[in-house]
Amino acid sequence: MTETVEAFTARAESWIRSNLPSYEDPEIEGEDLQRQLFDAGFGAIAFPEEYGGSGLTLEHHKAFYDAAYAFNRQIPMSGLVSVRMLGPTILDHGSHEAKSKFLPALLRADTEWIQLLSEPQGGSDMAGASTRLTRDGDTYVLNGAKMWSTGAYRADYGLCLCRSDWDAPKHRGLSMIAVPFKTRGVTIEQTRTADGELGEFCQEFFDDVVLPAGNLIGGENNGWAVAQTLLFHERNAVGNVGYGYVGPQGPTLGTTRVGASRSPAQLAAHAARHGKIGAVGAQIAEAYIESIVGPLTAARVMTGMRVGSHKGQWGSLLKLQRSVTKHEALRTTLATLGPEAVIWDGDEVRLDNPGTAWLRSRGGTIAGGTSEMQRNIISERLLGLPREPSDDRDIPYNQLVKRQSRTSR
C-alpha cells in the first residue's frame, strides 16, 4: 500500500531536520544534495521504484519540498533540467530498456542531461529541425548542429530532436535520441551572453556521430510527441508545478545574485528617501502584487493538477507569468535605483548588479518557448481559441525546404 501523505510528511520532516543544511550554512553543490536525497529515498519521490524512484505520488513530492521550505533547508536546484524535465520525459516515452539504462544515474545526479532542440537557422520553429538522423543497421548516425543549449559544456547527455524522415511532413518526420557528449564527432562551443558571462549557453556540432538504436526515446518518427512532452515538463518546472515543484519559493529564472536583488519594500523605501514615489510608486505596487499573486496562482494550479480540475498546458501560463514578472520587476528596480543599478566601485567588472540581472532576465522570456509562443499555447489549448492558419503542416519536409529556398532567392 502507498504510504499516506501524512505519514510520509512526518518521516520527511524528521529526515530533513537531521540531514539537510540550512541556508545559513555553507552552500552545498546541487549534485551532492541530489545524491544525498536519492540515497535516502527522497531524490525521485514520484518515480517508479524499478527505475530508482520511491514509487509515490506528486502529492508526496510536494509535501517533501514544502517541509524543506518550512525548515529553511537547502535543496538541489541544479537538477532542474535533468531531474525535473528530462527524467519525466524519458519516463513518459522511453522503452523499459531505455528507462532502466538512463533513469537511475540521471535521478541520482551521476549524469547530467540537457535538451537539444534549437538550431542556428531554426528560430522559434522547433518542428523545422534539420539535424539529420540516419538509420545504419543497429545504429543511427547523427549530423547537424544545435544551439542555445544551457550547460552543454558540463553535461553528460543531450536529448536531441532530429530529422529522421525527410519525405514526411515536418512534424511527423522527427525523432528524439539520447546523445552521450563524450562520443567521437561531438564538438561543444561556449557562447558569451549579453551580461558578460561565458559558458551557460552553448552550440553543439555533430559530425557522423554513431549512436545505438536503443538510445532512441519514443520510437522512430515520434519525436514531435516527445518534444511536446519535454516542453510540457519544462514549463511546469519553470512554473513550479508537477515534477518541477521545489517549494513555495520556486526555481530561479536565471541566477540573480544577492547584490542584484531588491524586494518591493526595499524599492519603496529607496524611492521615499529620494523623492521618487510619485514616479515609480505604481510600478513598485505592481511588483508587490505580482510577488503575492504568483505563488497563489501556482498553488492553485498545483492543487488543480492533483485533483484533476487543471489538465493541459497550465505550465505555459505559469511560465509566462513568472518570466514576464521577473523581467518587469527588474525594470522597476532600474527605474527606482537609477545610476546606482548599473555602476559599482573599482575597476573589476562585476555582474552582481540589477543592470546585468535585467539583461539576464530577458532569457527567461525566451528559454523554454518565447512569451509569444506561450500566449499562443494559452489561447489555443486553455482558452479554446482557433489556431493561427498554416499551410505547411502537411507538406513533405524536403519539398518545404525547396520552397523556402526558392522564396529566399
Give the alpha-carbon dihedral of 250, 253, 258, 260, to 10 degrees.
-130
Q: Tell me the whole-structure pTM to 2 decimals.
A: 0.83
Rounded CA-CA distance 25/139 in Å is 48
Q: pLDDT tens, 292-316?
A: 998 888 888 878 887 888 888 888 8
Using CA atoms, how far apart are residues 173 and 161, in angstroms rounded to an integer?
A: 10
DSSP state, residue 269: H
Looking at residue 294, its pLDDT comes to 87
The Cα–Cα gap between 124 and 180 comes to 25
Amino acid code (one letter) for 43: G
Over the stretch 201-241, which tens digit does the pLDDT of each residue have? 899 999 999 999 999 999 999 999 999 999 889 888 877 88
Which residues 6+ apart lie within 8 Å of 12 measured at CB? 42, 63, 64, 67
What residue type is 208 in one-letter code? D
Residue 234 annotated among the catalytic residues of the structure? yes
Catalytic position from the list 31, 234, 328, 372: 234
- Residue type, position 160, single letter: C
From CA 358, how far away is CA 380, in angstroms rounded?
Answer: 30
Residue-range domains of the chain with CATH: 5-107 (1.10.540.10), 113-222 (2.40.110.10), 252-382 (1.20.140.10)
Listed as ranges, residues in the chain with pLDDT below 70 are 78-79, 123, 195, 249-261, 407-409
Q: Residue 255: what pLDDT?
A: 40
- The reported pLDDT for the residue numbered 258 is 44
Residue 212, all three cell numbers: 545505438
Note the maximum CA span of the chain: 73
Instruction: Please give the Cα distance from 221 to 249 (Å, whole number).
Output: 39
